[in-house]
Amino acid sequence: MVDLDADGRELSRSVVAPEEFPAHVSERERSAPTRWVWHDSSRRYPALLAAGVRVARCHDLRLVHRILLGLEGTDPTARQRDDVWAGEGVPAPDAGQALFDLVAPTGPTAAIEETLAEFARQRDALGRARAGLHLLVAAESAGALLAVEMHTAGLPWDARAHEAVLDAELGSRPTVGARPARLEALARRLREELDDPGLNPDSPTKLLRALHRQGLPVESTGRGELAAVDHPAVATLLEYKRLARLWTANGWAWLDEWVAGGRFRPVYIPAGVVTGRWASAGGGALQIPRGLRVAVRADPGWRLVVADVAQLEPRVLCAMAQDTALAEAARGRDLYEGIVADGAVTSREDAKLALLGAMYGATTGESGRLMPRLRLTYPRAMGLVDAAARRGEDGEAVSTLLGRTSPVPDGTWLRTQARATEADAAASEIARARREARDRGRFTRNFVVQGTAAEWALTWLADLRGRLARMPAARVDATRSGPVFSRHAHIAFFLHDEVIVHCPEEHVGEVSAAVRAAADAAGRLLFGDFPVDFPLDARVADSAAKA
């Protein structure tokens, strides 16, 4: 382990045996503010939490490396170091290399030197970067810690409530290999209604053929298209699809695999999405269906504080663009109603449609039709996303408010564009280049908004995490949360613009206040005094189901 001062100068070195590492970290955390610098929080932190040791701050070299790679002027050799610093990482060595767990290309003995060199490069790059990037790096690293903490604590999950949903929807649990009773009944009815005795409704190919034999004008078996045609089998099929989805995605097998000891423990992957949004692996944590939220239940004596931000992305867009007209429409009320009041559109539904279209790049249909009106009323906000789209179409990179950059186009894309400008380019080649350019424009258009919204949410989360950590211990244990979280309010779930805090009943007031204070802080940190607010829908409940 190496001690550094605030300027990154080396103070001392020591070797700490792995079994002594948690106690060592715990001692440091108590005695002085410490920022742990390590390769990968997802590999280093679980063992600390398992030993009951929580870390306040870190610098996650792997995640920061990925952010810095996109900066202009980045050392071109940085990309050669990608495999080591930004890749999936490598198993930590068992040897007592302590803090720095990197296995460098030149072998384990060089790990600390490599780690120090990477940290120095990152400090150097950050020293030249604007303030926003420092905030992003701090928030990203806090998120890396939180992702491990949420996995360790888990989301309180009541298997009996889940089973009650399955029983009500699907019938009793079937034997292995068989469909649940209600699903099998629907399949039988479907075979009759489509006059196809051998039909397997799970096969899109066979299903489509059966629908065509009935004379139905559908090109796919998708829900949307089906709902638009008139046939007795449609209602049956839609119900079959709904239940089949519940069964295969979140049925008894899911419960057996992913819920243990009253907790659902997904793996969170910070910045797993190019925009900086989090991804998850295992159990589909980011796709928990609404109907199963009744199974998210606080422990006895504990409660859930469930909070989400209303219309996060449009608010972020308006602040990022410094669009005071849109900010005025958003202030203290439903943003979409504000747009109606401005006379840009005539209904709330149209306002939502138009704004989503602006952020996603809709060109056709209702949404595309409404956008010109929006451009007239909110030229700054619309100008920002339009400019991002143009840059993307031109093959340039865009960046979020704090400085996360979009990926650059790959060689195939560039060649397609170049080919289209040559004198002998075929019409089809030109059309293809044009289509791919527009595709990329929609991506960069959305990138700046989605990515900045992710930064707001990450800042909110990081700030909230700190506030919760400073709260006192509870009287009632939630023993299933593990040693670090059994007596302290903790973030149990995060999904883009929503957070669920699991906390002792006696702390719900403080926690609710902390959730709001953190949202206010995030707004100020990103947008300073610009007059936009981020209203929360927050509630205290035993379950995460919508009230």
Partner DNA sequence: AAGGGACGCGCG
Partner DNA sequence: AAAGCGCGCGTCCCTT
Nearer to DNA, 360 or 413 (CB): 360
Nearer to DNA, 274 or 540 (CB): 274
Query: Which of 206, 373, 380, 539 contacts DNA by CB under 7 A?
Result: 206
Q: Does 408 bind DNA (CB under 7 A)?
A: no
Query: Which of 110, 161, 216, 269 contacts DNA by CB under 7 A?
Result: 269
Residue 297 DSSP symbol = B
**Other beta carbons within 10 Å of 277:** 20
Whole-number Å distance between alpha carbons of 262 and 158: 6
Mask of contacts with DNA, 314-353, x by CB under 7 A? ---------------------------------------x
Write down the least CB distance from residue 237 to DNA, Å: 8
- DSSP assignment of 417-463, as one string? HHHHTSTT--HHHHHHHHHHHHHHHHHHHHHHHHHHHHHHHHHHHHH
Query: Which of 446, 459, 486, 543 contacts DNA by CB under 7 A?
Result: 446
Nearer to DNA, 52 or 365 (CB): 365
Q: Does 375 bind DNA (CB under 7 A)?
A: no
Whole-number Å distance between alpha carbons of 51 and 477: 18
Q: Does 279 bind DNA (CB under 7 A)?
A: yes
Residue type, 318: C
Write down the least CB distance from residue 222 to DNA, Å: 4
Query: Which of 12, 77, 205, 428 contacts DNA by CB under 7 A?
Result: 205
Nearer to DNA, 15 or 227 (CB): 227
* Cα-Cα-Cα-Cα dihedral sign, residues 452, 454, 460, 466: negative
Whole-number Å distance between alpha carbons of 56 and 465: 9
Whole-number Å distance between alpha carbons of 250 and 296: 13
- DSSP assignment of 365-406, as one string? HHHHHHHHHHHHH-HHHHHHHHHHHHHHHTT---B-SS-PBP
Q: Does 200 bind DNA (CB under 7 A)?
A: yes
Whole-number Å distance between alpha carbons of 117 and 428: 50
Query: Which of 163, 184, 308, 342 contacts DNA by CB under 7 A?
Result: 308
Q: Does 165 bind DNA (CB under 7 A)?
A: no
Tell me which stretch binds DNA (CB under 7 A): 25-33, 58-66, 108-116, 357-365.
Answer: 357-365
Query: Which of 130, 223, 333, 415 contacts DNA by CB under 7 A?
Result: 223
Nearer to DNA, 236 or 275 (CB): 275
In this structure, are residues 82 and 69 in contact, taking their beta carbons and an 8 Å threshold? yes
Q: Does 172 bind DNA (CB under 7 A)?
A: no
Whole-number Å distance between alpha carbons of 244 and 185: 12
Whole-number Å distance between alpha carbons of 172 and 244: 14
Q: Does 222 bind DNA (CB under 7 A)?
A: yes
Query: Which of 116, 129, 324, 360 contacts DNA by CB under 7 A?
Result: 360
Q: Does 174 bind DNA (CB under 7 A)?
A: no
φ and ψ at residue 268, rounded to 5 degrees: -95, 140
Mask of contacts with DNA, 493-532, x by CB under 7 A? --xxxx----------------------------------
End-to-end CA distance of the chain: 50
Q: How many residues of this chain bind DNA (CB under 7 A)?
A: 61
Map tokens 């009944």 to a residue: 185
Positions in 281-300 near DNA (CB under 7 A): 281-284, 286-291
Whole-number Å distance between alpha carbons of 112 and 390: 44
Best CA proximity match to 360, nearest among 444, 442, 441: 442
Write down the least CB distance from residue 108 to DNA, Å: 29
Q: Does 57 bind DNA (CB under 7 A)?
A: no
Counting every residue, how long is the chain? 547
Query: Which of 66, 121, 263, 277 contacts DNA by CB under 7 A?
Result: 277
Q: Does 245 bind DNA (CB under 7 A)?
A: yes
- Residue 451's alpha-carbon distances to 20, 237, 313, 374, in angstroms, are 40, 38, 9, 22
Q: Does 239 bind DNA (CB under 7 A)?
A: no
Instruction: Please give the residue ranges that form the binding site for DNA (CB under 7 A).
Output: 200, 202-206, 208, 220-225, 227-228, 241-242, 245, 248-249, 254, 269, 272-275, 277, 279-284, 286-291, 308, 353, 356-357, 360-367, 439, 442-443, 446-447, 450, 495-498
